[in-house]
């Protein structure tokens, strides 16, 4: 097996490339996941057939996709997402979301696009009950997997804090928060092309997963810290529920 020297940085967390590559290989072992008693979410979430591959159309199936990352959408939340479906679809049509995150040059345009995706959560007259940035990111990412970042408590742990790219702030809106998280994730992907090339290779065939998704897998496996070795199988399906859902996390 080829050994890769160097590290990959995920916010404030630094992981050896060997460890990161092992996490990606384990997570993307689709044959193993399909028979495991404690599977990971690939390919269930990433290849989920929601009824359409159109990037600006959200079917009822798409609204339920977060459940495949162990963030179940409750009935009341589902109805709420249905009510704002048109607004979300309009936001997904922003042309800049067609570009991979690392290739986006217009920072202000990207911020505008991200804000459009999440501002529905900050409007008390339309915000879907029980839905925050974590749940919504898991609905939207599948439609624009190369540009829309995922969020959970471990992404928050990697990217928010006194020693992290995003400082803590009380009362910050979801739209403002997800703009900052997207900026920070873009910086990590853009500044480490070699490392992400290695991670793409570890995931299998080219294009199997976007850099955005690969980073999410690393953040989740890291648990917000930089372990010396890959964690054991405690990071599989039944643990994922508590780790993935962070819609109530202080932003």
pLDDT in tens, the chain (251 residues): 444 569 999 999 999 999 999 999 999 999 999 999 999 999 999 999 999 999 999 999 999 999 999 999 999 999 999 999 999 999 999 999 999 999 999 999 999 999 999 999 999 999 999 999 999 999 999 999 999 999 999 999 999 999 999 999 999 999 999 999 999 999 999 999 999 999 999 999 777 899 999 999 999 999 998 443 333 333 333 333 434 455 655 55
pLDDT of residue 249: 55
Residues 151 and 25: their CA atoms lie apart, in Å, by: 21
Q: Is 8 helix (H, G, I), strand (E, B) or coil?
A: strand
Q: Is 22 exposed, middle or buried (0-12, 13-18, 19+ CB in 10 A)?
A: middle
In sequence order, the β-bridge partners of residue 10 are 13
Residue with tokens 């974590």: 134
Separation between Cα atoms, residue 187 and residue 185, nearest integer Å: 5
Residue with tokens 């008390």: 124
* Res 234: pLDDT: 34
Contact predicate 94/127, CB 8 Å? no
Output the pLDDT for position 208.
Answer: 87
How distant, in Å, are the alpha carbons of 7, 131, 134, 198 from that of 29?
22, 30, 25, 16
Question: 167-172, long-range: CB within 8 Å, 24+ apart, which pairs?
Answer: 168/250, 169/251, 170/250, 172/251
Angle at 32 between CA 205 and CA 23, to 5 degrees: 65
Whether the Cβ atoms of residue 181 and residue 215 lie closer than 8 Å to each other: no
Per-residue pLDDT, 205: 78
**DSSP-derived 3-state class of residue 14:** strand
Say if CB 179 and CB 107 are below 8 A apart: no
The pLDDT value recorded for residue 136 is 98
CB 144 within 8 A of CB 99: no
What pLDDT does residue 173 have?
97
**Predicted local confidence at residue 225, as pLDDT:** 81
Residue 87 has what pLDDT?
Answer: 98
CA 171 to chain CA centroid, Å, is 23
The residue length of the chain stands at 251
**What per-residue confidence (pLDDT) applies to 206?**
72
């Amino acid at each position: 097996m080829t050994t890769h020297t160097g590290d990959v940085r995920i916010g404030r967390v630094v992981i050896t490339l060997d460890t990161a590559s092992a996490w990606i290989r384990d997570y993307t072992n689709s044959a193993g996941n399909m028979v495991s008693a404690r599977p990971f979410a690939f390919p269930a979430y990433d290849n989920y057939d929601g009824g359409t591959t159109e990037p600006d159309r959200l079917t009822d199936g798409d609204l339920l996709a977060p459940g495949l990352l162990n963030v179940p959408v409750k009935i009341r939340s589902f109805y709420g997402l249905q009510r704002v479906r048109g607004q979300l679809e309009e936001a997904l049509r922003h042309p800049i979301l067609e570009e991979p995150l690392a290739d986006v040059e217009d920072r202000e345009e990207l911020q505008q696009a991200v804000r459009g995706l999440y501002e529905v959560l900050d409007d008390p007259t339309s915000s879907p009950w029980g839905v925050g940035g974590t749940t919504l990111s898991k609905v939207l990412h599948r439609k624009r997997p190369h540009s829309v970042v995922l969020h959970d408590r471990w992404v928050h742990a990697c990217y928010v804090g006194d020693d992290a790219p995003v400082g803590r702030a009380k009362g910050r809106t979801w739209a403002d928060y997800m703009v900052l998280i997207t900026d920070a994730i873009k910086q990590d992907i853009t500044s480490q092309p070699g490392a992400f090339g290695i991670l793409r290779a570890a995931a299998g065939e080219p294009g199997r997963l976007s850099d955005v998704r690969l980073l999410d897998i690393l953040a989740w496996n890291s648990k917000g810290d930089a372990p010396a070795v890959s964690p054991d199988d405690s990071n599989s399906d039944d643990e994922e529920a508590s780790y993935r859902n962070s819609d109530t996390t202080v932003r």
